[in-house]
Structure 1
Amino acid sequence: MHIAIAGYGSAGQAASLLLARDGHRVEVFERVAAPGPVGAGFLLQPTGMGVLLELELLDAALQLGAPVRRLFGDLPNGRRIMDMRYAELQPDLCGLGMQRGALFQLLHAARSTATQLHFDAPVQSVEPELGRLTTADGRQHGPFDLVIAADGSGSQLRDALGPQRLNRPYPWGALWCLLPAGDWPYADELRQRYRGARRMIGLLPVGRRGADPSPHLSFFWSLPTSDFDAWRERGMDTWRSELAELWPEAREVFDGLPADPADLARASYRDAVLKRWHHGRLCAIGDAAHAMSPQLGQGVNMALLDALALRDALRAEPKIEAALPRYAAERRAHVSSYQLWSRWLTPLFQSDHDAIARLRDLLFLPLSRLPGSRGQSLSVLSGIQQGLFGRRRINPGLLQHLERHQR
């Protein structure tokens, strides 16, 4: 098939690799002139790692990233709120903290030379029935057998799929940057510090990138998007004092924060739920299909799984009109539960609701340790939750790779 992909983020990159390897003729249209990663770091879950194994990139990713075996969150007084370990689900299982730049370079280097990359070519509109798209310079491209919208949470092509169940911005966002890990003692743990639901700080080990051998941490600070400018006006010294007061154990790490507020990336998020994931020859993957809060750390994970599911649907069904419903049914069953959990959990950690935060502080850890609840929490964490009670199978090859890597 002749396939167009709008967007060259994780979803678009993975889809272009998987589809080109199956012999499809792929053209990618990316809006920026010099594409690169957006954001500092992320936590790849075991299901997403399985896609990298399919792409024969997992060994390289494990060399670059940092295995994460525990998720831990507490209050300034030391009270634990969250404490989960992947090994409780399966021995040797872990997540993988990576720098976004490392994954981008890994996927970009593996691209097929037959894939055409059109940079500085934002797609403005698409004709789903005809498979034609128009870029910002007024040029028409196609017709294509399939057009894939992989243009992120702010997708320009989502409207062409028809009315949506939900499409709204989250009022809370985050500041992000990479910091040298130094002597930070929690090299295999995502650590978070909370004060109510209004303050959340995180440090995630994300390994290295390219020729830089030094390990890094991805730092994030939660705040309402409406407060971005006020935060900057308060000045870095005031902010550093607040950080040191909230998390004195991380003071040496915070010494690496940039002096200029402009050097911290600002991130905002959306909640998007589609009524249909495909229309005519158009389908959506990644955040264009199911943008959600980053609270569960599933963004890149879901993007990779979407790309693999679309590849498999096209293998199983030679005709687009049968392949796209198959793809949508497969991914809806997985994504829907995460959208629900994300919508429910986000106010517990990012909101103005102090009463909800007090209940979280009292009940979150005890409830998560109940026998049935513990398994559910670990399934959601690792990306294998399927519907309300089902679970996706973890690739046995992944477990073998992780076992060898830990040796």
Structure 2
Amino acid sequence: MSTEVRVPTLGESVTEATVATWFKQPGDAVAVDEMLCELETDKVTVEVPSPVAGTLSEIVAAEGETVGVDALLAQIAEGDAAPAPAKKEEPKAEAAPAPAAAAKDVEDAPSAKKLMAENNLTDVTGTGKDGRVMKEDVLNAIAAPAPAPAAAPRAPVAADQADREERVKMTRLRQTIAKRLKDSQNTAAMLTTYNEVDMTEVMALRNEYKDLFLKKHGVKLGFMSFFTKACVHALNEVPEVNAEIDGTDIVYKNYVNMGIAAGTPTGLVVPVINDADQMSFAAIEKAIAEKGAKARDGKLSMAEMQGGTFTISNGGVYGSLMSSPILNPPQSGILGMHKIQDRPMAIGGQVVIRPMMYLALSYDHRIVDGKGAVTFLVRVKEALEDPRRLLMDL
């Protein structure tokens, strides 16, 4: 008896995937729930287990193929023995279609020719008799959106260097990252404002309570919970940074779902901490640790990466001193954290060494004005330089 293995449901709004890796080959024995293959979607990797015990008799979708939901992946012969893989018949060559008869010369409508000349159009598809171009055809061609410019051809490579190159197909995740980031630049009126924060008080508070915090809550006290709390505080005062544009409407969110950008071996993902504005420092740190571990292991679900209203990106862990983060659409704001570095600062007329961090807020200028963006960043700075303000809601 043969059992079909099909593509499982991939998640909300995900309709196709790429077959990444087959762990089994035709003729291999498989057990129930043993992993057969891995599928890559836009955001997550999906493992496909065997529904029955038996022998893998045929692989229908090879590695690298794009498959839709419920598409056939393989066949499993239940039991100990499996029939030899069925030999696929070679498709019969079809007779080439006869060449189309040469189109006879057709005179376009005078009004169409005039419009084409005025708008510098030379290739318009006609809908009139025998393919004659009519005035309406030219008007439709003028109103049609211009085609996207073709990608620039790759520069030629010297013959003695070509064998030292390696061409690897982009994963679906990397393709999605590239598309979303470029769409963000093309859609939003993106602008970045900068400030710097003195991390002295946060570092002192963390050092004083980190052991007690770990002992009571079972999780380390990091900087991300301070930044999350500071951003929530600032978003309450500048709600447009936590809003999004939907057509001609502005949708204000009366909650904060905080996206925490995380770099993984396969690319950038942004797990979301829902209702971060209702969470304690310990709950935030636990959520960040849990989502971070899932991101590194490729175990994040689609639901865990949807619904974010604002994002924090920490390039400082890699040593970045300054950057301009790109918005995560449809969000209207993203905060960039950077490396903490000792710098000489003028404080009270004296030059002192302080641990400083540059902050960058990228925002959508269509919805957030400069005043709101600067106010947001100043409130984050004030909350971090004097964390007591978070307790007093100041």
TM normalised by structure 1 equals 0.19
Higher Cα radius of gyration: 2
Larger helix percent = 1
Larger RCO (alpha carbons 8 Å, 6+ apart): 1
